[in-house]
């Protein structure tokens, strides 16, 4: 552990930007008790309370901890909020193997915890989203469609009244610092710089998912939100050859009983499991469990959460049948099904469709607009 915290002698950091630059704030650690980082290149620590600035030693580990509502860096107690500012062009700060090149705001949070929020340019943020949200080997036009969708989604999440705009996990879109950026991803972002999807003058919350299985879902059916035309759901002939187009999952009867018992059922035996109610894309809104006493109904989305989104891949259930002490669920697609189907987008790109055509297919009625 390096205890040196030398005061900076360098001139004030000149923050420059262009008129169209949009900053996004990503909650990368929320409510963490402490964390370790490693500097890679020059990193300044600014105490936002006193305005004093320090230089951390390059390529060194530091521990950041909260103490009585203040933030302590390498044994030095600073104010309630500090900022870690990598020098432009340097790799920045590494936390748990992930590089963050933006400015990191570290703030003492209630309960002796810390919140770490990265402030960075929207276009740089996308470099940390695309490699994890879409296979980096995807065709360029599909990556461009993804860049526009991810940018639109993130723009809709900007909320100045809160401490951060998005989280780095699946509750927003997954962001993993700026690792694994390849040339094709950079090109996809650069070629669509500033472009977002709009409908009647409003940016579309451009949801996306791995594979729809033949029909995308409406955001109303999935989340109960009021959907605009681009998010009503469309037929998708393009993802049928995807390896994600079909799935099956065996669930032992005792696990299904335990699931419905947690929801208040007293049943001890299942007679039949069936889809009780579907949305217009054929996804299960409600699943019925006929038992030895009465029928228990569970939401399709609750089953996905309970049995794991990567095993119970979608609510697009095509059959449920009894088999050797349990039930075999078969279904189509992977993910919530709203917005762009990434498997279909890749297939469309492979057939020579450009990203505008891909976006028009999955978000019908939306226009591509450059946000200034």
Q: Is 239 in the site for Zn ion (CB under 5 A)?
A: yes
Q: Cβ(210)–Cβ(334) under 8 Å? A: yes
User: From the CB of 199, what's the least distance to Zn ion, in Å?
Assistant: 21
Which range of residues in 62-70, 92-100, 209-217, 257-265 is near Zn ion by CB under 5 A? Answer: 209-217
Which range of residues in 220-228, 253-261, 338-346, 355-363 is near Zn ion by CB under 5 A? Answer: 338-346
DSSP 3-state assignment of 7?
strand
Q: Is 344 in the site for Zn ion (CB under 5 A)?
A: yes
User: From the CB of 213, what's the least distance to Zn ion, in Å?
Assistant: 6
Q: Is 233 in the site for Zn ion (CB under 5 A)?
A: no
Interface residue with Zn ion among 47, 123, 236, 282 (CB under 5 A) is 236
User: From the CB of 246, what's the least distance to Zn ion, in Å?
Assistant: 12
Interface residue with Zn ion among 74, 231, 341, 348 (CB under 5 A) is 341
Tokens coding 147: 């860049």
Closest CA to 344 of 242, 218, 227, 198: 242
Q: Which is nearer to Zn ion, 126 or 341 (CB)?
A: 341
User: From the CB of 308, what's the least distance to Zn ion, in Å?
Assistant: 21
Q: Which is nearer to Zn ion, 43 or 227 (CB)?
A: 227
Which range of residues in 124-132, 179-187, 235-243, 356-364 is near Zn ion by CB under 5 A? Answer: 235-243
Q: How many CB atoms lie within 10 A of CB 332?
A: 23
CA-to-CA dists, residue 313 to 231, 270, 365, angstroms: 20, 23, 28
Which range of residues in 19-27, 153-161, 238-246, 307-315 is near Zn ion by CB under 5 A? Answer: 238-246
DSSP sequence for 303-361? HHHHH-TTTS--S-EEEEEEETTEEEEEEE-BS--BSEEHHHHHHHHHTT--HHHHHHH
Q: Which is nearer to Zn ion, 65 or 314 (CB)?
A: 314
Q: Is 212 in the site for Zn ion (CB under 5 A)?
A: yes
User: From the CB of 239, what's the least distance to Zn ion, in Å?
Assistant: 3
Q: Which is nearer to Zn ion, 177 or 230 (CB)?
A: 230
Q: Report the side by side order of strands in the sheet with 270-278.
A: 270-278, 284-291, 295-299
* Residues in binding contact with Zn ion, number by CB under 5 A: 5
Q: Cβ(342)–Cβ(150) under 8 Å? A: no
Q: Cβ(138)–Cβ(152) under 8 Å? A: no
User: From the CB of 240, what's the least distance to Zn ion, in Å?
Assistant: 8
Residue where the block lists tokens 């694994």:
180
H helix runs in 134-271, sequence order = 140-156, 183-191, 219-223, 253-262
Which range of residues in 134-142, 276-284, 285-293, 340-348 is near Zn ion by CB under 5 A? Answer: 340-348
Question: Residue 177 forms beta bridges with which residues?
Answer: none
User: From the CB of 259, what's the least distance to Zn ion, in Å?
Assistant: 28
State the angle between helix axes of 355-362 and 140-156 in degrees (0 to 180), rounded to the nearest 10: 50
Q: What's the CA gap between 20 and 303, in Å, rounded? A: 43
Q: Which is nearer to Zn ion, 78 or 341 (CB)?
A: 341
User: From the CB of 343, what's the least distance to Zn ion, in Å?
Assistant: 6
Q: Cβ(90)–Cβ(40) under 8 Å? A: yes
Residue length of the chain? 372
User: From the CB of 283, what's the least distance to Zn ion, in Å?
Assistant: 13
Residues between 258 and 277 that touch Zn ion (CB under 5 A): none
Q: Which is nearer to Zn ion, 86 or 333 (CB)?
A: 333
Q: Is 145 in the site for Zn ion (CB under 5 A)?
A: no
Q: Are strands 208-209 and 340-341 parallel, antiparallel or unpaired?
A: parallel
Q: Which is nearer to Zn ion, 238 or 289 (CB)?
A: 238
CA 91 to chain centre: 23
Q: Is 347 in the site for Zn ion (CB under 5 A)?
A: no
Q: Which is nearer to Zn ion, 101 or 361 (CB)?
A: 361
Q: How many CB atoms lie within 10 A of CB 169?
A: 13
Which range of residues in 72-80, 120-128, 198-206, 231-239 is near Zn ion by CB under 5 A? Answer: 231-239
* Site residues for Zn ion per CB under 5 A: 212, 236, 239, 341, 344
């Amino acid at each position: 552990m390096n205890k040196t915290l030398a005061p900076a002698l360098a001139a004030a950091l000149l923050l420059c930007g262009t008129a169209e630059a949009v900053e996004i704030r990503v909650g990368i650690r929320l409510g963490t008790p402490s964390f370790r980082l490693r500097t890679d290149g020059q990193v300044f620590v600014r105490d936002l309370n006193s305005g004093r600035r320090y230089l951390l030693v390059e390529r060194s580990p530091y521990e950041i901890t909260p103490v009585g509502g203040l933030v302590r860096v390498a044994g030095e107690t600073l104010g309630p909020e500090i900022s870690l500012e990598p020098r432009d062009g340097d790799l920045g700060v590494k936390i748990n193997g992930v590089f963050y090149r933006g400015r990191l705001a570290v703030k003492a949070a209630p309960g002796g915890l810390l919140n770490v929020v990265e402030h960075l340019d929207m276009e740089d943020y996308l470099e940390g989203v695309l490699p994890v949200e879409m296979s980096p080997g995807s065709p360029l036009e599909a990556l461009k469609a993804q860049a526009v969708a991810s940018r639109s989604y993130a723009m809709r999440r900007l909320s100045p009244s809160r401490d951060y705009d998005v989280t780095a996990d699946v509750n927003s879109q997954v962001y993993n610092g700026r690792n694994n950026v390849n040339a094709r991803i950079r090109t996809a972002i650069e070629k669509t710089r500033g472009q977002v999807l709009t409908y009647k003058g409003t940016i579309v919350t451009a949801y996306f998912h791995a594979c729809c299985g033949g029909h995308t879902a409406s955001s109303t059916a999935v989340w109960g939100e009021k959907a605009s035309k681009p998010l009503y759901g469309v037929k998708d002939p393009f993802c049928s050859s995807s390896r994600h187009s079909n799935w099956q999952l065996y669930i032992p009867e005792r696990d299904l009983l335990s699931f419905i018992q947690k929801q208040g059922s007293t049943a001890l035996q299942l007679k039949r499991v069936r889809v009780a109610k579907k949305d217009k894309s054929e996804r299960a809104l409600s699943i019925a469990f006929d038992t030895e006493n009465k029928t228990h109904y569970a939401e399709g989305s609750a089953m996905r959460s309970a049995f794991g989104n990567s095993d119970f891949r979608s609510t697009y259930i095509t059959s449920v049948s009894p088999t050797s002490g349990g039930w075999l669920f078969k279904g189509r697609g992977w993910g919530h099904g709203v917005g762009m189907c990434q498997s279909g987008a890749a297939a469309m790109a492979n057939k020579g469709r450009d990203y505008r055509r891909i976006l028009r297919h999955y978000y019908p009625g939306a226009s591509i607009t450059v946000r200034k």
